[in-house]
C-alpha cells in the first residue's frame, strides 16, 4: 500500500511538472507583455489543472493537485508582479519620451529666441537711425519756420548757421541715443 502511494505520488508529480514547466518557462523568461498577459496565463493554468485531472491517477492525485494549485498561485502572483513592473516601465518610458519631446520643443523655441535676440540690436540701430534722421529734419524745419516768421528769408547766411546749429544739436542727441542703446544692450547681455 505504501509503495502504491509513493508510486502514485511520483507519477502525479511528473504529470504536474510536465504540464507546469512550459508555463513556468514562459513566465520566468520575460515575455512581451503585449502578446502574453495574466489572463492568458490563467487560462493556461486552468487548462493544465484540467489536463492533470485527466492524466493523474492513484491515491496521491488529490495531494499533488493541492501542491500544483499552490505552484499555480505562486506562478500567477509572480507573473502579476512582473506584469505590473513592465507596465510601470512602459509608463516611465512614455513619460521620458514626452519629456524629450517637450525638451526638443523648448530647445527649438530657445534657438528662435536667440536668433531673434541677435537680430534685435541691428533692428534697434536701424530704427534709431531713422528716428534721428526724422528728428534732425523736424528740428531743421522748425528752425527754418522760425526764421521765416522772423523775416530772415533773405539772409542765406543765417539759414546756414541755423542748419549747422540744428545738425550739431541732432548729432548730440544721436550720440545720446546710441549710448543709451549700448547700455541697454549690455544689460540684456548680462
> Among candidates 65, 74, 59, 71, which has minimal Cα distance to 15?
65
Query: Is a pLDDT exceeding 60 seen at residue 145?
Result: yes
Mean pLDDT for the chain? 78
Give the pLDDT of residue 163. Answer: 60
3-class SS shares of the chain: helix, strand, coil, % to 5: 90, 0, 10
Query: Is a pLDDT exceeding 80 seen at residue 138?
Result: yes
- CB within 8 Å of 58: residues ≥ 6 apart: 4, 5, 7, 8, 9, 11, 12
**3-state class of 60 per DSSP?**
coil
Would you list the domain boundaries of the chain? 2-104, 120-189
> Which pTM does this prediction carry?
0.48
Give the pLDDT of residue 94. Answer: 92
- Angle made by CA atoms 62, 67, 69, in degrees to the nearest 5: 90
Average the pLDDT over 148-162 and give the result. 57
Cell of 68: 500544483
CA distance 158 to 154: 9
- CB within 8 Å of 155: residues ≥ 6 apart: none
Average the pLDDT over 130-139 and give the result. 86
Amino acid at each position: 500500500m505504501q509503495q502504491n502511494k509513493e508510486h502514485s505520488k511520483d507519477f502525479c508529480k511528473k504529470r504536474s511538472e510536465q504540464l507546469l514547466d512550459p508555463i513556468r518557462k514562459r513566465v520566468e523568461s520575460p515575455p512581451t507583455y503585449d502578446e502574453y498577459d495574466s489572463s492568458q496565463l490563467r487560462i493556461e493554468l486552468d487548462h493544465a489543472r484540467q489536463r492533470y485531472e485527466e492524466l493523474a491517477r492513484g491515491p496521491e492525485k488529490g495531494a499533488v493537485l493541492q501542491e500544483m494549485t499552490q505552484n499555480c498561485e505562486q506562478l500567477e502572483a509572480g507573473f502579476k508582479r512582473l506584469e505590473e513592473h513592465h507596465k510601470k516601465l512602459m509608463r516611465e518610458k512614455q513619460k521620458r519620451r514626452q519629456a524629450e519631446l517637450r525638451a526638443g520643443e523648448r530647445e527649438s523655441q530657445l534657438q528662435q529666441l536667440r536668433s531673434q535676440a541677435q537680430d534685435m540690436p541691428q533692428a534697434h540701430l536701424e530704427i534709431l537711425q531713422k528716428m534721428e534722421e526724422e528728428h534732425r529734419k523736424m528740428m531743421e524745419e522748425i528752425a527754418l519756420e522760425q526764421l521765416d516768421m522772423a523775416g530772415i528769408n533773405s539772409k542765406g547766411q543765417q539759414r546756414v548757421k541755423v542748419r549747422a546749429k540744428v545738425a550739431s544739436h541732432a548729432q548730440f542727441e544721436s550720440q545720446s541715443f546710441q549710448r543709451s542703446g549700448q547700455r541697454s544692450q549690455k544689460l540684456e547681455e548680462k
